[in-house]
Structure 1
Amino acid sequence: MPLSDPAPRDHLHTRNVTCTGYRRSDGLWDIEGHITDVKTYGFKNHDRGDIPAGEPIHQMWLRLTIDDHMVIQAVEAVTDHAPFAACNEIAPNYEKLVGLKIGPGLKQQIRERVGGIDGCTHLTELMGPVATTAFQTIFPLRAKEAAEKQRRAEEQGMAAPRKKRSPLVNSCHGWRSDGAAVKRIAPDSYTGPQDD
């Protein structure tokens, strides 16, 4: 269901964020993010001169290479468009994120390494959707592979591998431990009422 009809208004600004996940041939994962900010009107900028309508005021790219444990192995950041000439100087600082694990506490660790004058507001904001995209890329495929491994083990009469608690449990309302989704998808983590 779409949003309700808005009041009369003028379109002034569009921010687009696109994130894409890839499985690499070497077993690692690449998660790429791209952010653009575009105005519907032209304006003057001290460092860039005239910026016509439709030309990005911000255009940044971020690629995280991560392993199966969600640990960042490599980072590449690029700034194609920014309001200040100095903005692209900070992109190499994002390599300081190597070694961080995507999971609880990530935002604070990012702020400690590339917060304030040590980073770019827009590249740092992009880390949120990139991290979410990492989960969306990796966990469904790994769950499918684990289910296949378990099926093969059962066919061979071997003990089934021990199930791990899903890292998604209690990460949002839909994944709450006493909810219907967890009861169905991750019953070992379910904490709600038991059916008689």
Structure 2
Amino acid sequence: MDLFQREIRARVVEAGPDAIRVAVKLNDSFHEIALTLEVRPSDRTITGARAEFIRFPYDRCRDTMARLDNLVGVTIAPGVWRTVAREVGGKDGCTHLYELTMEALRVAMQGFYRYEWERLPQEERLPFLRRALAGECYIYSHPEVKARFLLEE
């Protein structure tokens, strides 16, 4: 017997000059919720946040969406996790909006790296990633490791 299933999908797109849009959607046995963050890459500031409750178990679940307004102006930097927990989660929030926001922040970082990568000269790209991801990724933390980039083959 299937007790529960969940899928989370995410996408980051360039949405204009100095703007990216992060869309994350949760679909599980009881919920279908979409979250969109608008972010300014130059200073990593959230400029917009909205959600759509498509399928949900209780008529008052939507009451929590207004808490996303508290994220506008927040910078994606160390400490942002605590800010999101305080502003979106907790007893007056929604655990699913909190979870989607956290995922949106994780994929936004990937979007920032790609956004910056695209604007760098070829010879600056690898050093940029080594600086940005040192301590976060085996390949970028160990310059002595010679790895072949497989995605361009």
Of 27, 33, 36, the match for 2:27: 36
CA distance in 2, matches of 1:113, 1:67: 20
**Shift in Å, 1:26:** 3.7
Report the residue type matching 1:114 in the other structure. Answer: V
Matched, 1:88 2:62: yes
CA distance in 1, matches of 2:123, 2:47: 26
Of 7, 18, 21, the match for 1:27: 18
* Equivalent residues, number: 144
| RMSD over equivalenced CA pairs, Å | 2.7
Aligned 8 A contact 1:64 1:73 in 2: yes
CA distance in 1, matches of 2:130, 2:139: 12
Higher helix share: 2
Aligned 8 A contact 2:129 2:140 in 1: no
Of 49, 64, 67, the match for 1:75: 49
TM-score, L = length of structure 2:
0.79
CA distance in 2, matches of 1:110, 1:120: 11
Report the residue type matching 2:33 in the other structure. Answer: M
**Shift in Å, 1:175:** 5.9
**Shift in Å, 1:17:** 0.3
**Aligned counterpart, 1:155:** none
Task: Give the match's secondary structure for 1:83.
Answer: coil
Task: Give the match's secondary structure for 1:116.
Answer: coil
Matched, 1:59 2:32: yes
Does the C-alpha gap of structure 1 residues 184 and 70 become closer, same or farther in structure 2, counting only changes over 3 Å?
Answer: farther
After superposition, the C-alpha distances for 1:95-146 in whole angstroms (9 at most, x for unaligned) are 1011112232211111122221232100101122211211222212312312
Of 164, 170, 174, the match for 2:135: 170
Aligned 8 A contact 1:21 1:31 in 2: yes
Report the residue type matching 1:86 in the other structure. Answer: R
Task: Give the match's secondary structure for 1:11.
Answer: coil
Identity value in percent? 23
Task: Give the match's secondary structure for 1:65.
Answer: strand
After superposition, the C-alpha distances for 1:24-83 in whole angstroms (9 at most, x for unaligned) are 124311001100112xxxxxxxxxxxxxxxxxx111111100011221011111212222
TM-score, L = length of structure 1:
0.63
Displaced runs of 4 or more, over 6 A = none
**Shift in Å, 1:176:** 6.5
CA distance in 2, matches of 1:165, 1:72: 25
Q: Which has the higher contact order (CA 8 A, sep 6+)?
A: 2
CA distance in 2, matches of 1:73, 1:165: 28
Does the C-alpha gap of structure 1 residues 175 and 76 become closer, same or farther in structure 2, counting only changes over 3 Å?
Answer: farther
Aligned 8 A contact 2:88 2:97 in 1: no
